[in-house]
């Protein structure tokens, strides 16, 4: 939630098309308890005297409030994005008042984002609680969320997305799989079996730590999750996998990674995307594969955005050999 208004009258919401600042605390997409907490946060910001950051004036401190709710146990991770550490003492001072009203807030941190740009978070994260991660569980699979680790925004729809991917992976009979842009490991952990050799790749170390913990709890001894750049990753591997899972940012995977996948030539690719246009571009860059299955997921209700999962299968020549 962007923090708008003033320290005497803060607003958690957006600027609408007419330039008016509108609170989103009552958005019906949020569970009732989250709506209540957002209203309490607005009042708490006023109580603590935290000045919202004014983009037009380049003044103020509090830029965003990031709130994550566990569908599994109802606990919250609360993050304050500040321009500097100047207001950190006031957050520490008034935080017990908020926690007394909402003991389900189990993780609290402050992120420092000093740049005057449309960037949601900075590199520095300061934890104000002993607990540093939120527990989630989808389809019986334990998952963990830490600050700066990507997680699907809609847990109910995400559970169906992961379940569908698991079914498609089961059909492919893959003994080895790569999960690229793996995040906290949601796809790989759902698709893997104890005997499956899994390699998960993600640039963010926070997310990798979560995936590794989940793999240990599930007893996936052959699962390896690494924090590294995907550039040239596939060309460094001795053997291509049976299955590759991809869940990239909106920009897609691009020409270079498409070429690497064509060279690795896995039998099947599961590609999950929140941008069908870049997905279509990437699929067109891999002519050796045919579109076998497509499923749409309404991950972002009441918007024009959606998640789409596709299964790509390596084509065969007229002689029965792989292309």
Distance of alpha carbon 72 from alpha carbon 53, whole angstroms? 33
pLDDT score of 276: 95
pLDDT score of 310: 98
Fold of the domain spanning 2-132: OB fold (Dihydrolipoamide Acetyltransferase, E2P) (2.40.50)
Specify whether the CB–CB gap between 38 and 44 falls below 8 A.
no
Distance of alpha carbon 99 from alpha carbon 163, whole angstroms? 35
pLDDT score of 71: 95
CB neighbours of residue 291 within 10 Å: 12
Residues with Cβ < 8 Å from 320, sequence gap 6 or more? Answer: none
pLDDT score of 321: 47
Q: Which two tokens stand for residue 202?
A: 């993600």
Q: Which residues of the chain have pLDDT under 70?
A: 232, 234-235, 238, 316-323
Q: Which two tokens stand for residue 8?
A: 């005497």
**Which regions of the chain carry the CATH code 3.40.50.150?**
138-314
Q: Tell me whether residue 274 is one of the annotated catalytic residues.
A: yes
Distance of alpha carbon 29 from alpha carbon 34, whole angstroms? 10
pLDDT in tens, 69-117: 999 999 999 999 999 999 999 999 999 999 999 999 999 999 999 999 8
Nearest to 260 by CA among 277, 224, 285, 278: 285
pLDDT score of 4: 96
Runs of H (alpha helix) within 62-201: 88-101, 155-172, 186-191
Distance of alpha carbon 33 from alpha carbon 46, whole angstroms? 20
Bridge partners for 145 per DSSP: 134
Distance of alpha carbon 250 from alpha carbon 278, whole angstroms? 7
Architecture of domain 138-314: 3-Layer(aba) Sandwich (3.40)
**Which regions of the chain carry the CATH code 2.40.50.1070?**
2-132
First CA to last CA across the chain, in angstroms?
48
Nearest to 59 by CA among 41, 81, 39, 83: 83
């Amino acid at each position: 939630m962007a923090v708008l208004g003033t320290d005497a009258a803060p607003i958690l919401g957006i600027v609408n098309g007419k330039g008016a600042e509108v609170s989103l605390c009552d958005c019906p997409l949020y569970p009732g308890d989250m709506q209540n907490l957002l209203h309490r946060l607005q009042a708490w910001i006023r109580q603590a005297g935290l000045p919202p950051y004014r983009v037009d004036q380049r003044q103020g401190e509090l830029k965003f409030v990031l709130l994550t709710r566990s569908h599994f146990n109802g606990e919250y991770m609360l993050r304050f994005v500040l321009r500097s550490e100047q207001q950190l003492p006031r957050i520490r001072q008034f935080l017990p008042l908020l926690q007394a009203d909402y003991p389900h807030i189990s993780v609290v941190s402050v992120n420092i984002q000093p740049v005057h740009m449309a960037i949601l978070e900075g590199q520095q994260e300061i934890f104000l609680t002993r607990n540093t991660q939120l527990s989630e569980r989808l389809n019986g699979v334990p998952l963990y969320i830490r600050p700066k680790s990507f997680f699907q925004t809609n847990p109910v729809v995400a559970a169906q997305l992961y379940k569908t991917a698991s079914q498609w992976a089961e059909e492919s009979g893959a003994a080895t799989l790569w999960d690229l842009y793996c995040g906290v490991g949601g796809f790989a952990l759902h698709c893997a079996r104890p005997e499956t050799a899994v390699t998960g790749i993600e640039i963010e170390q926070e997310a990798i730590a979560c995936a590794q913990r989940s793999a240990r709890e599930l007893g996936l001894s052959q699962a390896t999750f690494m924090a590294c750049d995907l550039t040239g990753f596939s060309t460094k591997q001795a053997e291509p996998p049976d299955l590759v899972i991809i869940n990239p940012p909106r920009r897609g995977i691009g020409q270079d990674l498409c070429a690497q996948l064509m060279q690795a030539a896995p039998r099947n690719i599961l590609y999950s995307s929140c941008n069908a246009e870049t997905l279509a571009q990437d699929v067109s860059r891999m002519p050796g594969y045919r579109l076998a299955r497509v499923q749409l997921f309404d991950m972002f209700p009441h918007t024009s955005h959606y998640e789409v999962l596709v299964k790509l299968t390596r084509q065969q020549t007229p002689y029965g050999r792989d292309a």
